[in-house]
Amino acid sequence: MTASVLTANCHYLKKSTRPGRRLILGLLLTGAAFCSSLALGQTNIPPVTVWDALFHFDATKTQHLIIQGSRLPRAVIAMLVGSALAVAGALMQALTRNPLASPAIFGVNAGAVFAIVLATTLMAISAMDQLLWVGLIGAALAGGLVYALGTVGHQSPSPVRLVLAGAAISALFISFTQAILVTHQEGLDSVLFWLAGSVSGRSLAMVLPTLPLVLPALLLSLLLGRHINLLMSGDDIARGLGQNVALLKSALGLLTICLAGSAVAMAGNVGFVGLVVPHIVRGWLGSDHRWVIPGCAVFGAALVLSADVIARFLIMPQEIPVGVMTALIGTPFFIYLARRGLRYG
Partner 1 sequence: MPLSPIATANEWAHRAAALVLMALLVTSSPGANATPPPKPDNRVIIHSQGETRISGTPKRVITLFQGANDTAVALGVTPVGVVDAWAQGAHYDYLDKALDGVSSVGLETQPSLEAIALLEPDLIIASRRRHEAIYPQLSQIAPTVSLATVFDVPRTLEIMGQALNREDKANALWVDWQARLKDFRQQAERTLGNRWPLSATVLNFRADHTRLYLGGSYAGSVLKDLGFTQPPAHPKNLWMMKLTTKESIPIIDADVVFYFMEDDPSVRDSFDAWTRHPLWQNLDAARNQQVYPVDRVAWNLAGGILGANRMLDQLFEHFELEDGS
Partner 2 sequence: MVERLRLTAGPISLALNGRTIVVTSVLLVICLAVAVLALSVGSVALSPITVIEALLGRVSGPEGFIVETLRLPRIVMAFLVGAALGVSGLILQALIRNPLASPDIIGISGGASVAAVAFLSFLTPWFAIQWLPVAAIAGAMAAAAIIYFLAWRDGVTPLRLVLIGIGLSAAMGAATTLMITLSPITTTMTAYVWLTGSVYGADWKDVQAFAPWLMVLLPLALFRARAIDLQAFGDTLATGLGLSVQRSRCLLMFLSVALAGAAVAHGGAIGFVGLIAPHIARQLVDRQFAGLAPVAAMIGGLLVLLGDLIGRTVFTPLDLPAGVFVSAVGAPFFVYLLFRQRY
Q: Which residues in this chain contact partner 2 in the complex, by CB under 8 A?
A: 99-100, 102, 104, 149, 152, 158, 160-161, 164-165, 167-169, 171-172, 174-176, 178-179, 181-183, 185, 188-189, 192-193, 195-196, 269, 271-272, 275, 315, 318, 320-321, 323-324, 327-328, 330-331, 334-335, 338-339, 341-342
Pick one of partner 2, partner 1, none as the site partner of residue 70 (Cβ within 5 to 8 A by kind). partner 1
Find the shortest distance in angstroms from Cβ 242 to partner 2.
Answer: 28
Query: Angle at Cα 107 formed by Cα 102 and Cα 108, nearest 5°?
Result: 90
Task: Give the residue with the Cβ less far from partner 1, 126 or 244.
Answer: 126
Number of helical (H) and strand (E) elements in the chain, helices listed first: 16, 0
E strand or H helix at 74? helix 72-96
Pick one of partner 1, partner 2, none as the site partner of residue 39 (Cβ within 5 to 8 A by kind). none
Find the shortest distance in angstroms from Cβ 182 to partner 2.
Answer: 6
Which one, of 170, 160, 177, lies nearest residue 105 by Cα? 170
Task: Give the residue with the Cβ less far from partner 2, 169 or 230.
Answer: 169
**Phi, psi dihedral angles at 186 (to 5 degrees):** -65, -35
Give the span between the Cα atoms of 256 and 86, in whole angstroms: 10
Which one, of 32, 139, 128, 138, lies nearest residue 84 by Cα? 139
Find the shortest distance in angstroms from Cβ 229 to partner 1.
Answer: 42
Encode 119-137: b = buried (16+ Cβ within 10 Å), e = exposed.
bbbeeeeeeeeebbbbbbb
Report the interface residues with partner 1, using CB under 8 A. 41-43, 62, 65-66, 69-70, 120, 124, 126-127, 186, 189-194, 198, 200-201, 312, 316-319, 321
Find the shortest distance in angstroms from Cβ 193 to partner 2.
Answer: 6
Pick one of partner 2, partner 1, none as the site partner of residue 323 (Cβ within 5 to 8 A by kind). partner 2
Find the shortest distance in angstroms from Cβ 120 to partner 1.
Answer: 7
Query: Angle at Cα 274 formed by Cα 273 and Cα 277, nearest 5°?
Result: 65
Find the shortest distance in angstroms from Cβ 180 to partner 1.
Answer: 16
Task: Give the residue with the Cβ less far from partner 2, 67 or 322.
Answer: 322
Of the CA atoms within 13 Å of residue 324, those in its CB half-sphere come to: 11
